[in-house]
Structure 1
Amino acid sequence: MNPAQTVTAATGLLAAVAALSPYFKGKTRQLLALTLLDVALAALAELHVIFSGGLSQGELLADRYAALLALVFLLDLSIVLLGSSSTVAQYEEGNALIGAVALAAAGLLGISVSGTVPLLLVSWVLVSAASYASIALPRDKYSASGASKYGLMSLASSMLLLTALGLASFNSPSLSLPSVVPAGREVAALALAFTVASVGFKAGAFPFHAWLPDTYGVSDPYPVSIVAPLSKGAVLLAFYKVSAILAPEARQEWLWIVGLIALLTMTYGNITALLQRGFQGLLAYSSIAHAGYLLVGVAALSSQQAAPTALYGLVLQLAAYSFAKTGLFLLARLARAREGPPVALDDLRGLSTVDKPLAASATILVLSLMGMPPLAGFWGKLFIFLAAVGPAPWLTAVALINTGIAAAYYARIIKAVYFEPGKPHLYADRGLKVVIVVTAAASLLAGLVPLVLPPA
């Protein structure tokens, strides 16, 4: 099979799992096993694209970077699904939740190989709808609140992306992405503004972030542990696809618009996270800050010289963010009563005395988010900031300052876990505990990648 066939088959199997999930009533383990198998096949399909040097056939178009960005999420999702059987069985709509996750994975796969405007839009809408459904399906009052706001913002995001791509391709005879050429610099800049607004809503970038604290900081942490990496992966893939259209026509506008949003996002996210007393709330605002760091790398895509380094850093930073947020949100799930209020930092006091492997894993994940060498988060930030030094030294300077600010609130988590007395109540879910440990190990292993495979 060629790469186009393997990707098409993997996407079709994920969609089939989503369609068949209602028929697995009482067979959650079997549904999870089938979904995990299909996600693994999707990951192998992306590896096929990587080792084939890319994919260009019909409506499908992808290079190694697009495949790598999708592969990060698929690996993270595989880890989550491995330990989810007990957790999913607790939800009344557990099978529907797994179906929504499979549909989201299919959508992300579609974005990664989108070679036409319609395929990119359809895949984006699929990811948005499945993400919203995943947050809503626990059906508690907290998740309902977060999902309602997320759903509205997802709708706005899709409409704005439709407008952006419509503007960009209005004068193009073909809707194939490589052939789309905006009608002048002004049109490209306007399309860019709509793209930033659209993708900003999905990423939780300032000032499009209003939904994120209620969704990540209040909703059931289990689906959030999947949606958080999913949304960032979709955002980076969409930006990467659109950059090939808009950046050549409006390089300065790309740098300044995306760079300004990055600056505002990471500064707002970090300063607000400092004020949080809740563990989930802190993770939510930290996610906003990390959207800013990722946008620093996206801003650097405006420079042809900086783009390869920026893409390398974005892959590593997405891996660091994905593994860390998955593990830490699942820790919140272990410490949170079913349909209970969000977890506070005080609820983690003394975790090291209750479960040492869990405490050590949480610390590794926090340090990776902080950017501590030699973990994945350090390398991701390093290459992203290096890429931005040439085209925008001011942006790198602000990013470094924000990294210092973030260290203060990440230290509060470590302090609660190791240095404050307490005895947190954790649910006896061995599967989730194993997932948290594995995400910490994955963060350690990802930190070795630059030593083995340095950027070209």
Structure 2
Amino acid sequence: MMLEAIYLDIALLVLTAIIAPYLRKQPKILYVLASLALAFTLLVSLEESLSGTIATGEMVTDWFTSLILTIVLADILVVIASSFQALNLSPEGPSFIATLLLGITGLIGLSHAGTILMLLVSWILVSVTSYAMIALMKDKYSASGATKYGLMSLASSMLLLLSLTFVTTQDPKLSITPLSSPPIIVAVATLAFSAAAFGFKAGIFPFHGWLPDTYGISDPYPVAVVAAISKAAVILAFYKLAILIAPIVSSHWLTLLGILSVLTMTYGNITALLQKGFQGILAYSSIAHAGYILIGIAALSLPDPHLRYLAMLGLLMQLVTYSFAKTGLFLLAKLIRQKESPPLKLEHLNGLSRVDGSLAASSLILVLSLMGMPPLVGFWGKLFLFFSVVGPATWLTAIALINTGIAAAYYARIIKAMYFEPGSPNLSKDRGLKVAVIISAIISLLAGFIPIFLPIQ
């Protein structure tokens, strides 16, 4: 019965995407259909996470992949359900919705991928649609960011194809199951090329070159959506790769991804400190958060099931933190930044608390969550991630703690601008986007209580 629901779910998303261009003159109908399709997808994914493992050939999923999908779907639904005015005013609104629904279909494929072929096709679909959503805004800043994003997405897909070619030499059935005993050189090569492929997508150092332009200067509305989808896609892809080769390259896996994590979070945090633009800070902060996520991914190779479980909980909590906080803060940027105008500087936030107290308070919660302030969800995400490697890689936990302190400095600059600097931001009249920011903050606040109910093994 669950499989039928998944197939129906995919059919609804694809069908809605196909008919979207024909509903340009009936935006309310398209808006309702898209919201219903996403809501149904969310319910199916939530039911999957409660039902346990599903394994039927091409379709393989478990509680972890289902919850990753659920988190992103909830985040996207918050955005779309609040975006009627923003999408209705844009001539590319129907195309954006169609592209987004196809991207969600690709994310479903990644979550359920039971074969290498399904993993590769789903990855390409997510990559292409992510690039297209940025490009659809058509202003000169988005065009520049989308061009670099498109080139990096192409490089990512080609590297992933190359890395998975190594695996096919060991498993002609192409199933995502632990490889029996491949030569260590094959497994290490697969890990190295896959890390590069996923690194281009997530903005992992040194494959991050596109991200500052895409996130830092493009129209912030599509970035609010793409940021969550991209990070979820990388977590899912690494998780599937871990099933294939992690037991074989355990020490290499932890070392390589640990080093990439240190380089990524350190580069992202230090560079964010130097930024004068609000979107620039958010962009380099996204690079830093890719480094934190890599800690949990590195721990997926550990032989201790308790540590792996902590890493998975940390990845889930960190994805909740990142998805809703970045969504809310990029939508805040959209509320202030006018179309075709340059990227926001930090000074554009000056005096926000005096202009709109509820919006400033919501943004404060999101910033504190990214900072890792207890009891918000961001605190729990970092706590679980750091504890998962504190024994096997104490050096990684120590450097991550130092980076958390560095990050607090530039997050404090955002808070200072909103609450302690004189100014009067010119906010958009779009109440829907403001509601989305507030809902994102509420979810970030309430999600901080989830660990109380989690079974810690």
In structure 1, give the amino acid aligned to 2:364.
Answer: T
CA distance in 2 between counterparts of 1:245 and 1:98 reads: 34
Correspondence for 1:399: 400
SS of aligned partner of 1:106: helix
Correspondence for 1:344: 345
RMSD: 1.0
CA distance in 1 between counterparts of 2:430 and 2:456 reads: 40
For residues 392-431 of structure 1, what are the structure 2 equivalents within 5 Å? 392-431=393-432
In structure 2, give the amino acid aligned to 1:307.
Answer: R
Would you say the 8 A contact 2:179–2:245 is kept in 1?
no
- Cα distance per residue 1:13-46 (max 9 Å; x no partner): 1111111111111222221211111111111111
Would you say the 8 A contact 2:188–2:249 is kept in 1?
yes
Correspondence for 1:267: 266
Correspondence for 1:252: 251
Would you say the 8 A contact 2:320–2:377 is kept in 1?
yes
Aligned pair count?
Answer: 455
Check if 1:366 corresponds to 2:367.
yes
For residues 264-343 of structure 1, what are the structure 2 equivalents within 5 Å? 264-305=263-304, 306-343=307-344
Cα displacement (A) at 1:7: 1.6
Correspondence for 2:112: 113
Cα displacement (A) at 1:181: 4.5
For residues 110-189 of structure 1, what are the structure 2 equivalents within 5 Å? 110-178=109-177, 180-181=179-180, 183-189=182-188
Structure 1 residues 79 and 182: alpha-carbon distance in aligned structure 2, compared to 1, 3 A threshold: farther
Correspondence for 1:215: 214
Cα displacement (A) at 1:270: 0.1
Correspondence for 2:445: 444
Would you say the 8 A contact 1:314–1:384 is kept in 2?
yes
CA distance in 1 between counterparts of 2:49 and 2:357 reads: 38
SS of aligned partner of 1:56: strand
> Unaligned 5+ residue runs, structure 2?
none
Greater displacement, 44-53 / 315-324:
44-53
SS of aligned partner of 1:402: helix
Check if 1:76 corresponds to 2:71.
no
Cα displacement (A) at 1:130: 0.6
SS of aligned partner of 1:155: helix
CA distance in 2 between counterparts of 1:47 and 1:5 reads: 15
CA distance in 2 between counterparts of 1:132 and 1:427 reads: 26
Greater displacement, 183-192 / 27-36:
27-36
* TM-score under structure 1 length normalisation: 0.98
> Unaligned 5+ residue runs, structure 1?
none
Would you say the 8 A contact 2:178–2:245 is kept in 1?
no
Cα displacement (A) at 1:169: 2.4
For residues 17-96 of structure 1, what are the structure 2 equivalents within 5 Å? 17-96=16-95
Greater displacement, 358-367 / 160-169:
160-169
Cα displacement (A) at 1:307: 1.0
Runs of 4+ in 1 over 3 A off after TM superposition: 179-182
CA distance in 1 between counterparts of 2:87 and 2:268 reads: 31
Cα displacement (A) at 1:219: 0.4
In structure 1, give the amino acid aligned to 2:368.
Answer: L
- Cα distance per residue 1:343-387 (max 9 Å; x no partner): 111000000000000000000000000000000100000000000
SS of aligned partner of 1:301: helix
Would you say the 8 A contact 1:169–1:181 is kept in 2?
no
CA distance in 2 between counterparts of 1:267 and 1:441 reads: 29
SS of aligned partner of 1:237: helix
CA distance in 2 between counterparts of 1:179 and 1:391 reads: 23
Cα displacement (A) at 1:302: 1.3
Correspondence for 2:198: 199
Cα displacement (A) at 1:90: 2.2
Would you say the 8 A contact 2:72–2:228 is kept in 1?
yes
Would you say the 8 A contact 1:174–1:180 is kept in 2?
no
Would you say the 8 A contact 1:182–1:188 is kept in 2?
no
CA distance in 1 between counterparts of 2:179 and 2:282 reads: 39
CA distance in 1 between counterparts of 2:170 and 2:262 reads: 33
For residues 379-390 of structure 1, what are the structure 2 equivalents within 5 Å? 379-390=380-391
Correspondence for 2:434: 433
SS of aligned partner of 1:217: helix
In structure 1, give the amino acid aligned to 2:190.
Answer: A
Cα displacement (A) at 1:48: 2.1
Would you say the 8 A contact 1:320–1:369 is kept in 2?
yes
Would you say the 8 A contact 1:184–1:249 is kept in 2?
no
Structure 1 residues 454 and 444: alpha-carbon distance in aligned structure 2, compared to 1, 3 A threshold: farther
Greater displacement, 38-47 / 410-419:
38-47
SS of aligned partner of 1:80: helix
Cα displacement (A) at 1:178: 1.5
Would you say the 8 A contact 1:255–1:302 is kept in 2?
yes
Cα displacement (A) at 1:179: 5.7
- Cα distance per residue 1:331-354 (max 9 Å; x no partner): 000000111111111000000000
Greater displacement, 5-14 / 217-226:
5-14
Cα displacement (A) at 1:299: 0.7
In structure 2, give the amino acid aligned to 1:12.
Answer: A
* TM-score under structure 2 length normalisation: 0.98
Percent identity between matched residues is 55
SS of aligned partner of 2:301: coil
In structure 1, give the amino acid aligned to 2:285.
Answer: S
Structure 1 residues 408 and 26: alpha-carbon distance in aligned structure 2, compared to 1, 3 A threshold: same
SS of aligned partner of 2:89: coil
In structure 2, give the amino acid aligned to 1:45.
Answer: V
Would you say the 8 A contact 2:20–2:98 is kept in 1?
yes
Greater displacement, 373-382 / 303-312:
303-312
SS of aligned partner of 2:222: helix
Structure 1 residues 182 and 199: alpha-carbon distance in aligned structure 2, compared to 1, 3 A threshold: farther
